[in-house]
Structure 1
Amino acid sequence: MTAQSLPSADTDFSRGVGAAGPLSAIQGLSRIDLALLGGLALVSVGLLFWATGDAVLAAGFLAGLALAAGGMILARRLFPAAAVGEAAPTDWSMLRAAVNHDDIAIAITDRAGRLVCANDLFATWMGGFVTPPGLPLEGRGAELLKNAGRTAWRDGEGGVDEIAVGPLQLRAQVLRSGQAEDYLIWRFSAHERLDLAGEIVRHLDGPAGRTLAQAGVMAALVSAEGRLRVANQAFLLRALGEEDALHYAGRDVAGMLRLDDAGALYFAREGDRATPVRMLQIPLTPADTHGPMLLAMLDEEIGPADRGTAQSYVETLLSLLPFGLALVDRDGRFLYMNRAFMRAAGVADGKKPRYPGDLVVGEDKGPLADMIRRHSSGQQVGGDLSIRLAGQGDEPVSMRVVGVRGLGEAAVLLSLKDSSEESRLKRQVAQASKMQAVGQLAGGVAHDFNNILTAVLGSCDLMLMRHTPGDSDYDDIQQIRSNANRAASLTRQLLAFSRQQTLRPQILQLPDVISEVSHLLKRLIGDTVQLSVHHGRGLGAVRADPGQLEQVIINLAVNARDAMPGGGTLTIETYPVSAADVRQMGNEFMPPADYSALKVSDTGTGIPAEVLPKIFEPFFTTKDVGKGTGLGLSTVYGIIKQSAGFIFADSKPGAGTSFTIYLPVHRAESGVPATPPPAAKAKKSQWGTGTILLVEDEDMVRAVAERALTRAGYTVVTASQGEEGLERFAAMDKIDLVISDVVMPTMDGPTMVRAMRAKRASLPVLFMSGYAEEQLRQSINIDDVAFLPKPFSVAQLAEAVSMALDDAAHRVGHG
């Protein structure tokens, strides 16, 4: 349990009951204070005797004071200070333990809207200790939660039934609490993803219901109000007859049954010659709630020797139900468990346990055995127990224990909910929150680095223009420029795994990409590793950035080389995957469609099972310090996901590793001819003429760009932020191009350009930014603008300016 912040000792959670009048005042006096009060009392008696001269009156007054003092001392002994003074401060460790819950996220806020306390599950679901109601909810969730908080302040309780955090569906309850009711308790619980009643309706109304009828089992689902929702044909014919069996929904089940004086149960319509039946009731909700119930009935015309037949009928029923159920005898041994129970408990075929305690960890064996013993008396009551299954980690699951009777040896019915889907969603939300937080950090770091690297690269380029090969400083400047380019590639990796890089997708074939990069791979993997390439037939074209796809192949090849220190074989395969193949794979993440697959395999040491789920996490590496950044596979993952593809890893220690990438086959729109990739444009001149307005808030970047453009022949006017840029624009008679940073204080670049375009609609604009274009596209949202990502060299800046001016002239010529 983690507490975001805790209130001080004078808040309502730790405040005592307050003062208790004169009694508490007496309790707080010291011995000196009491002596002083006694002296004053004697002086008062003396003055009274001097004024009246009546000794009897003075003695009575003194006796009254003594009686009052004695009463206060007696009250103090009867009610010690601990009971009437300040209450002991709240034990915060006890509070944290109290709100810690396995399946309910809890947060506490005070009247000022500050977060007082929250449990770990709240932080996992919400992506951190976020203060309600400002949570990362989908749609109108934040507004609905805020209204629920207002209702709780006013009425004491509020709630929202449907809110979502990513894929997780939640129900929220807000309670006003505290001694002064100055706190709100926010409780969030996940919706049950399995509608048991709906599943039973579907099964009983289909082949499963007919199978039960043929086995002599009459089954029906009854609503909380005792109304019939669905039943199999055997139940309907016995309870209603052929004529009324077609119109049974909503009928009262109690009227269909009757009890005789001996307690035997019959169908009412069968009269005196009716055959008694035995009924098994299976509640679908906890015992303390009123909900739907499943009824299973068997004919009672069997003796003790035939009770195994009745039990076999019940086992047939349990085997057809979609949730995990098992029967246990009075000695605590398993009699039967259906496949859903075995799947939820992780029981393999042929290895069925003898006792329920064999399924759980050692600490939970005793509580489970005690609960089964209490319910084996035959009383039809139930309870829930949180257990941890052996071999399935420390995550608890809920097991329901219900006492049954009338089934021969069976005395207890166990039900186990398969919570794997809920656990998977929890892990997904936690992983998504972590990746989002790291991605935001990476984007900000990359932006700041790109500004610095732009200044470094630009300064190096300007210095190289004044030095020639052979000069004493030329090699040092080249070394600085080389290291700056390495740093620029690292920022591109940061943007890649956070899926914020700028992609230039093209329609291409995977074999062509592998052919382009194969000569580089042979140098990278060395002579001890053999490269084997195989291409399948019928590969569909994919839409991806060829440069980024080459980076993916190189990263995977380098990892494979490091996994084969003694040499081996690196195999690259391509093959088509149809939608039918995807369905057979049964992968819940990949939608059925046609894909082109790229598989990179090695014969190296493999990846341990405990490491395999973490390999795509950023900054996770198993290499020695200084030999890896932990960004290689996370970069691969980011590029593939940004290209709408999927990547999966398969490995066994000592048996090598394979990475399989699935990219969706590109389908051209009907009626639109496929356009070939654009031809490479001719290299633009490094020189030009014209007037340029340069707006950049980073001084070092602005200085380098101004010097580079001035040297290229342009007239440059500079501004340090958007409002100053508008002032320069209003004072200039002619502007051929505006170059502006996107993110700036006070007024950003897009806002400034919109104000300029309002006065001159055809104004050419070139945006530059350390953030990726994909990330900024929505905020820019302006037609006919060019984009130059940072960091850039002097030559790249000159080429981008020349290209932007040519495009503007082309638009004007065709306007």
Structure 2
Amino acid sequence: MNVLGEAQGERQTGLIGGIAAAAVASAALLWWISGTPVLAFAYFAALVVLILAASAASRMRGGSTGDELAPPDWSVTVTAIEQPGLAVAITDRANRLACANSAYAEWFGAAAAPPNLPLDRPSLERLTRAAREAWRDGTARADDLLRSDGTPGWHASAERAGRGEDYLIWRISEAAAANHADAVGALVGGALGRMLSVAGIETALVGPDGIVRAVGRGFAQRASGDPTATLAGQEFVSFLRSDDRDRIFFAREGRKGAPLTLVQVPLEEPSGVATSTGSEVPSLMLLLEGGAGIGSGSDGPGAAATPQLEALLGALPLGLAMTDRDGRFLFGNEAFKRAVGREGQAMPSYPSDLVTREDKGALADAVRRFGKGPALSGDMAIRLRDTPDDPVSLGLAGVRGLGDAAVLLSLSDSTEETRLKRQVAQATKMQAVGQLAGGVAHDFNNVLTAIIGYCDLMLLRHTPGDSDYDDIQQIRANSNRAASLTRQLLAFSRQQTLQPKVVQLPDVVSEVSQLLKRLLGENIELKVRHDRDLGPVRADPQQLEQVIVNLAVNARDAIQSRGDGRGKLTLATRRISARDVRAMGSEIIPAGEYTAIVAQDTGGGIAPEKLGKIFEPFFTTKVLGKGTGLGLSTVYGIVKQSGGYIFADNVEGISGTIEGARFTIYLPVYSGPVSEEHLPASARDAEPEASTWLGSARILLVEDEDMVRAVAERALARSGHKITLARDGEEGLAAVANGGEFDLIVSDVVMPGMSGPRMVKAIRKVRPDLPVLFMSGYAEEQLRKEIDVENMHFLAKPFSVQQIGDRVAAILNAGQRSAKLK
């Protein structure tokens, strides 16, 4: 900046000198021309005044430019806001990200800026409202923000800052950490704090900034004289004093009080090695009287303190354990045992006995290092012996002031978190596979429509007994079999066409019971039980029957694969209340009224490692050639498309062995009115269909697939209709715009460019009464919002020549009857 200023000064000096020389020359020239020295002198004086004024203004501008602040150096800001475990971001008034620390980039990425974060809709609205309040009031908070998948996410605060208050500083912390701190704070301020105070241990919950969050009643009494004082918001060190021997006392008691030993317990695993002045996370501060400690012998100085610390660590919700300086376990609380898979069992001799062989050496070295070195804390990734595929983070902290040196181990119980992660991963995988299956099935339906259609057309020219008749029938039969596999794929991807009705599950079970008895055979006993007061459900009864049959077939195959092939299948219907759902504690099923159907067999159950895969398409536990792997995937798709939930688990016997598998299906109870409007259009339109149409109709056929268009054209032309073809929506719209008169539009739904529904909506502006028949390989309900137009009919692919002919005839007959009534 100094070099730049000197260069600018030199240029300004040279410029002013040149102007002065020009002024003298012009004054001399004026004197010579006019011959009047007074006039020349006045002219020169005026120029000098102007030059001086210009020089002064230039200097003022130069000075102000030099005094202006340089643009902000965001790299320095990023370094200043770097806080482990806390995401910090700075946004401008346009909600653009100015800078962020590494924690923010790790959680949300560099492209996302608050309030546009991956949250569910209510949380996103609360965060947006907090941003507006921060711009208006200066500060705002948004707590209990949920991620886009509905799991607990973060707490956020915003603060207005900057010279012109043109920036918002966002501080975002994980909700899980805050919940742990809140839980411990409630324990400290409640019965646990009072119990420990009686045992000579005063407690306080202190934030990473040294500010008190909660204290026990004993701490409040000794620090302020008032046991009901909260002391929250004050500095923790302000209540303590030390003497020349580095003994700690309460400031209010001074040396008259008993000396204290301070123990700091981090409540979460630190994100890195902490400094000697404290941890990066909230801590539980323990003040022990009289030099209490943990000794190796029962009569040592720490013998009296061991039960106190065990009681404290046992009551905390975090998994905590203590080792001596040589790495031997002293004790571990129940939360720690639960986290390492040893609930109700004794702890092993060393922490390294809990981990895989590859991690034993590293963990043993770390425990010895923290036990014999300076009082540091940190964490390391380990793999537990019982769950080697899921690494966990183990926190270690060297403990001093309790007699012999010790190491505090902290391990959160991540069982529930791991389970939720697996469920989310499984749901994501199933959704992706479903989308793939639906797309493949849709394209395959177009191929099958052409094959079945051409077979029908060929059969019109051949009669039974012809040499080719049986071959054509065989091709058609195999095409229909492929179409059934396609329907199973569509069922899995929740894209098949359903005709839901309000039904009672016991009625559906009764309808299929006789079939099940023949299907199971004499060696397998079928038992049926029904609860009372079952609520009705809205589902397709035929699809529910398919669900029951598929489950029964799987149960039969499982039973027959064991021993003498004898067993039992139990079908039960149950009433599930909202209270029962809440008692289940499920993260998947929302609270409400359900009617459940349970299918339980004695077939030996499902291997635990395969439970998460059984609903995937083409996955089967049967021997090669015994199953397609689409049975349970079809069940899964039908249940999900009906708005229900399905779970599979194993049934354990008295001896603890697995006796069989159990499938439980929850369908929501239907409480609305029962009327025709609750049925899909394909069911509401189901009038007695006439197979013939008297007369020739003008039909606009719009289909982008050449094979399907050719089959449909020949099928309709053989009925005497006049067909106009169009390859896409644009051609179909042009045919009407060019003056074409049509009695019916037969159109595909999904086409490149203009889709079928968009084309129909444009045509309806000039022909509002023109009926339309949509054809699609996707489910009608999947397309319901897109094809929701008046006087609309639906035909699912693949279809035969007879089906499309009868469907068109029925629509034309219905239109003719309606016209006569008018």
TM over 0.5, shorter chain: yes
Aligned residue for 1:223?
207
Asked if 2 retains the 8 angstrom alpha-carbon contact of 1:327 and 1:414, the reply is: yes
- 3-state SS, counterpart of residue 387 of structure 2: coil
In structure 2, C-alpha distance between the alignment counterparts of 1:294 and 1:190, rounded to whole Å: 19
Give, in angstroms, the shift of residue 732 of structure 1: 4.1
Q: Which of 776, 782, 800 is equivalent to 1:793?
A: 800
Alignment of 1:505-544 (within 5 A): 505-544=500-539
Q: Which of 379, 387, 399 is equivalent to 2:382?
A: 387
- 3-state SS, counterpart of residue 620 of structure 2: coil
Asked if 2 retains the 8 angstrom alpha-carbon contact of 1:604 and 1:654, the reply is: no
Q: Which of 565, 568, 573 is equivalent to 1:567?
A: 565
Question: Residue 656 in 1 paired to residue 654 in 2?
Answer: no
Q: Which of 542, 545, 567 is equivalent to 2:540?
A: 545
Name stretches of at least 5 consecutive residues in structure 1 with no aligned partner.
Answer: 1-102, 104-124, 145-160, 172-188
CA deviations 1:549-583 (Å, max 9, x no partner) are: 11111111111121122433332222222333334
Give, in angstroms, the shift of residue 239 of structure 1: 0.7
Describe the shift of the 1:267–1:740 C-alpha distance in structure 2 as closer, same or farther (beyond 3 A): same
Asked if 2 retains the 8 angstrom alpha-carbon contact of 1:439 and 1:497, the reply is: yes
Alignment of 1:168-179 (within 5 A): none
Alignment of 1:16-165 (within 5 A): none
Q: Which of 224, 240, 245 is equivalent to 1:257?
A: 240
Give, in angstroms, the shift of residue 546 of structure 1: 1.1
Structure 2 letter corresponding to 1:730 = A
Describe the shift of the 1:598–1:169 C-alpha distance in structure 2 as closer, same or farther (beyond 3 A): closer
Give, in angstroms, the shift of residue 203 of structure 1: 2.6
Describe the shift of the 1:467–1:284 C-alpha distance in structure 2 as closer, same or farther (beyond 3 A): same
CA deviations 1:708-742 (Å, max 9, x no partner) are: 22333433222122221122212345322111111
Describe the shift of the 1:716–1:313 C-alpha distance in structure 2 as closer, same or farther (beyond 3 A): same
Question: Residue 665 in 1 paired to residue 691 in 2?
Answer: no
Describe the shift of the 1:524–1:807 C-alpha distance in structure 2 as closer, same or farther (beyond 3 A): same
- 3-state SS, counterpart of residue 533 of structure 2: coil
CA deviations 1:282-338 (Å, max 9, x no partner) are: 134624363432211122276975632323222222122111111112232222211
Name stretches of at least 5 consecutive residues in structure 2 with no aligned partner.
Answer: 1-84, 86-106, 128-143, 155-171, 294-298, 652-656
Asked if 2 retains the 8 angstrom alpha-carbon contact of 1:695 and 1:739, the reply is: yes
Question: Residue 695 in 1 paired to residue 721 in 2?
Answer: no
Structure 1 letter corresponding to 2:215 = A
In structure 2, C-alpha distance between the alignment counterparts of 1:697 and 1:302, rounded to whole Å: 85
Asked if 2 retains the 8 angstrom alpha-carbon contact of 1:443 and 1:494, the reply is: yes
Give, in angstroms, the shift of residue 785 of structure 1: 2.1
Asked if 2 retains the 8 angstrom alpha-carbon contact of 1:168 and 1:190, the reply is: no
In structure 2, C-alpha distance between the alignment counterparts of 1:190 and 1:420, rounded to whole Å: 22
What is the identity percentage for the equivalent residue pairs of Structure 1 and Structure 2?
Answer: 54
Structure 1 letter corresponding to 2:624 = V
Asked if 1 retains the 8 angstrom alpha-carbon contact of 2:490 and 2:496, the reply is: yes
- 3-state SS, counterpart of residue 410 of structure 2: strand
- 3-state SS, counterpart of residue 252 of structure 2: helix
Q: TM-score, normalised by structure 2?
A: 0.72
Structure 1 letter corresponding to 2:444 = F
Give, in angstroms, the shift of residue 787 of structure 1: 1.8
Aligned residue for 2:63?
none
Give, in angstroms, the shift of residue 456 of structure 1: 2.1
Describe the shift of the 1:291–1:561 C-alpha distance in structure 2 as closer, same or farther (beyond 3 A): closer
Describe the shift of the 1:358–1:754 C-alpha distance in structure 2 as closer, same or farther (beyond 3 A): same
Asked if 2 retains the 8 angstrom alpha-carbon contact of 1:222 and 1:229, the reply is: yes
In structure 2, C-alpha distance between the alignment counterparts of 1:465 and 1:536, rounded to whole Å: 54
Q: Which of 304, 311, 315 is equivalent to 1:309?
A: 304
In structure 2, C-alpha distance between the alignment counterparts of 1:194 and 1:683, rounded to whole Å: 65
Give, in angstroms, the shift of residue 654 of structure 1: 6.6
Aligned residue for 1:440?
435
Aligned residue for 1:12?
none
Question: Residue 212 in 1 paired to residue 209 in 2?
Answer: no
CA deviations 1:382-422 (Å, max 9, x no partner) are: 12121111111232111111111233456111111223344
Structure 1 letter corresponding to 2:619 = F
- 3-state SS, counterpart of residue 761 of structure 1: coil
Identify the range of structure 1 (588-597 vs 315-324) with the bigger mean alpha-carbon deviation.
Answer: 588-597
Give, in angstroms, the shift of residue 524 of structure 1: 2.7
Give, in angstroms, the shift of residue 443 of structure 1: 1.7
Question: Residue 771 in 1 paired to residue 784 in 2?
Answer: no
Aligned residue for 2:646?
647
- 3-state SS, counterpart of residue 579 of structure 2: helix
In structure 1, C-alpha distance between the alignment counterparts of 2:592 and 2:635, rounded to whole Å: 22
Structure 1 letter corresponding to 2:201 = V
Describe the shift of the 1:778–1:637 C-alpha distance in structure 2 as closer, same or farther (beyond 3 A): same
Q: Which of 230, 233, 236 is equivalent to 2:217?
A: 233
Aligned residue for 2:280?
290
- 3-state SS, counterpart of residue 598 of structure 1: strand
In structure 2, C-alpha distance between the alignment counterparts of 1:613 and 1:555, rounded to whole Å: 18
Aligned residue for 1:624?
623
Give, in angstroms, the shift of residue 806 of structure 1: 5.7
Describe the shift of the 1:344–1:731 C-alpha distance in structure 2 as closer, same or farther (beyond 3 A): same
Please provide the CA RMSD for this pair. Answer: 3.6
Question: Residue 750 in 1 paired to residue 757 in 2?
Answer: yes
- 3-state SS, counterpart of residue 302 of structure 2: helix
Question: Residue 461 in 1 paired to residue 450 in 2?
Answer: no
Asked if 2 retains the 8 angstrom alpha-carbon contact of 1:651 and 1:657, the reply is: yes
Identify the range of structure 1 (545-554 vs 471-480) with the bigger mean alpha-carbon deviation.
Answer: 471-480
Aligned residue for 2:5?
none
Question: Residue 557 in 1 paired to residue 540 in 2?
Answer: no
Identify the range of structure 1 (792-801 vs 460-469) with the bigger mean alpha-carbon deviation.
Answer: 460-469
Aligned residue for 1:273?
256
Describe the shift of the 1:393–1:774 C-alpha distance in structure 2 as closer, same or farther (beyond 3 A): farther
Aligned residue for 2:315?
320
Aligned residue for 1:300?
290
Question: Residue 416 in 1 paired to residue 411 in 2?
Answer: yes
Alignment of 1:306-385 (within 5 A): 307-377=302-372, 379-385=374-380
CA deviations 1:148-168 (Å, max 9, x no partner) are: xxxxxxxxxxxxx99967467
In structure 1, C-alpha distance between the alignment counterparts of 2:459 and 2:795, rounded to whole Å: 22
In structure 2, C-alpha distance between the alignment counterparts of 1:813 and 1:256, rounded to whole Å: 95
Asked if 2 retains the 8 angstrom alpha-carbon contact of 1:278 and 1:299, the reply is: yes
In structure 2, C-alpha distance between the alignment counterparts of 1:791 and 1:597, rounded to whole Å: 33
Describe the shift of the 1:166–1:587 C-alpha distance in structure 2 as closer, same or farther (beyond 3 A): closer
Aligned residue for 1:638?
637
Question: Residue 491 in 1 paired to residue 486 in 2?
Answer: yes
In structure 2, C-alpha distance between the alignment counterparts of 1:228 and 1:810, rounded to whole Å: 83
Describe the shift of the 1:213–1:764 C-alpha distance in structure 2 as closer, same or farther (beyond 3 A): farther
Asked if 2 retains the 8 angstrom alpha-carbon contact of 1:378 and 1:404, the reply is: no
Q: TM-score, normalised by structure 1?
A: 0.73
Question: Residue 686 in 1 paired to residue 657 in 2?
Answer: no
Q: Which of 390, 393, 405 is equivalent to 2:400?
A: 405
Describe the shift of the 1:410–1:478 C-alpha distance in structure 2 as closer, same or farther (beyond 3 A): same
Aligned residues: 652
In structure 2, C-alpha distance between the alignment counterparts of 1:715 and 1:524, rounded to whole Å: 50
In structure 1, C-alpha distance between the alignment counterparts of 2:310 and 2:554, rounded to whole Å: 53
Structure 1 letter corresponding to 2:229 = L
Describe the shift of the 1:602–1:609 C-alpha distance in structure 2 as closer, same or farther (beyond 3 A): same
In structure 1, C-alpha distance between the alignment counterparts of 2:644 and 2:478, rounded to whole Å: 33
In structure 2, C-alpha distance between the alignment counterparts of 1:293 and 1:659, rounded to whole Å: 46
Asked if 2 retains the 8 angstrom alpha-carbon contact of 1:275 and 1:301, the reply is: no
Give, in angstroms, the shift of residue 693 of structure 1: 0.9
Describe the shift of the 1:351–1:310 C-alpha distance in structure 2 as closer, same or farther (beyond 3 A): closer
CA deviations 1:449-505 (Å, max 9, x no partner) are: 111111222233334445555555444433332222111110111111122222222
In structure 2, C-alpha distance between the alignment counterparts of 1:268 and 1:813, rounded to whole Å: 101
In structure 1, C-alpha distance between the alignment counterparts of 2:322 and 2:474, rounded to whole Å: 76
Give, in angstroms, the shift of residue 679 of structure 1: 8.9
